[in-house]
Amino acid sequence: MKILDVENLTVKMMKEAEQILVDSVSFHIKKGECLGLIGASGSGKTMTVKGILDLLNPPFFVESKITLNNMSWESLKKSEKRKIMAKDIGIILQNPMNAFDPLMRIGKQMHHYLYPYTKLKGEEFTNWLISLLEEVHISHGEDVLKKYPHQLSGGMLQRVMIALSTALSPALIIADEPTTAIDSQTQREILKLLKSIKSKNESGILMVSHDIDAVCSIADRIILMDRGRIVEQSDCVDFLRDPKSIQGKNLMKCKSKLGGEIHAFGYTKCVG
Ligand SMILES: Nc1ncnc2c1ncn2[C@@H]1O[C@H](COP(=O)(O)OP(=O)(O)OP(=O)(O)O)[C@@H](O)[C@H]1O
């Protein structure tokens, strides 16, 4: 069953002249499947995600036919989309430090996002929050709930964000560069965590990244974007073994030149 079906997504910028930033992009994600969206800086990954989520305002204009969990997305009003997004789409962002309110304790922020969607009250609700933190391998959850964001490391905050965005078992999880802003040891732990969520959950995952190794450690398929277009859609294993597009071949060449690892800077410097 398809969780997300995107047909001909086009994002235009109308200023003095019309500029096409994303050009007729089509893809789908099935239940329990992870799709990796990769490409050099400026290739249109973020615009694709923002276009899907209806987060763009003039001078940007979006045309598309999107079906989310069997619902026709374009027929909904922005306010209806916001409600669905809060419950059915979990979003994990690149820089967890910017995603939290610095002046509010973690527990209060979790309460703010999750309380409207559960019948749990008082101690039961707090125990649920602690169990969510345990699932992302935060064992001293009670203390973490009392802390402010700056009192936690980037990796811990990323785990809290993963706990928040997966708490309501969303149909779709969008992870936008989820391991970019953290050290390599924590990166591995976060990827392991996402992998376990993928196998446990029925959610579809869209993982956006420059890092082909990180993507292919969880994704089943990848799409490679270049200048607003999809230039290759492939099974991860096939892509790593034998990319078909020029951009895919360059990316893999770049990977071997950079000693097997491609991250944001290296990829963009080499390919972009
Ligand atoms: N606010 C903006 N105003 C004008 N053009 C923009 C804006 N944001 C993005 N663009 C342009 O849209 C195109 C796609 O950008 P996008 O941010 O989607 O790339 P990306 O692949 O996500 O890059 P990165 O990996 O660096 O985040 C680029 O040509 C970019 O310059």
Domain of residue 259, CATH code: 3.40.50.300
Alpha helix (H) residue ranges in the chain:
45-53, 78-88, 96-99, 106-114, 122-135, 141-145, 154-166, 184-200, 212-218, 236-241, 246-257, 264-270
Number of H helices, E strands in the chain: 12, 10
| d(CA 30, ligand 1 centre) in Å | 27
Token duo for residue 200: 């446990």
Q: What is the mean pLDDT of residues 132-157?
A: 93
Strand partners, 97: none
For residue 272, name the pLDDT band (cuts at 50, 70, 90): very low
Of residues 166 and 23, more confidently modeled: 23
| d(CA 45, ligand 1 centre) in Å | 8
* 242 to 234, 236, 245: CA distances (angstroms): 10, 10, 9
Element (H, E) at 64: strand 60-68
Confirm if 229 and 25 have CB atoms less than 8 A apart. Answer: yes
**What is the structure's pLDDT at 204?**
93
* 61 to 48, 55, 83: CA distances (angstroms): 12, 10, 22
Strand partners, 230: 225
Q: Structural domain of residue 60, as residue ranges? A: 2-270
Give the model confidence (pLDDT) of 88-107 as tens digits: 999 988 778 888 999 999 99
Give the model confidence (pLDDT) of 228-269 as tens digits: 999 999 999 999 999 999 999 999 888 776 655 544 444 454
Residue 60 CB neighbours (<10 A): 17
First to last CA, the chain: 35
* 139 to 103, 156, 159: CA distances (angstroms): 23, 11, 12
Question: What size, in residues, is the chain?
Answer: 272
Confirm if 87 and 166 have CB atoms less than 8 A apart. Answer: no
pLDDT above 70 (res 224): yes
| d(CA 42, ligand 1 centre) in Å | 5
- What is the pairing mode between strands 204-209 and 34-39? parallel
Q: Which of 12, 14, 41 to mutate to test the pocket of ligand 1 (most atoms within 8 A of CB)?
A: 41
Token duo for residue 70: 């069997």
| d(CA 48, ligand 1 centre) in Å | 10
Domain count, the chain: 1
Q: Which of 13, 45, 49 to mutate to test the pocket of ligand 1 (most atoms within 8 A of CB)?
A: 45
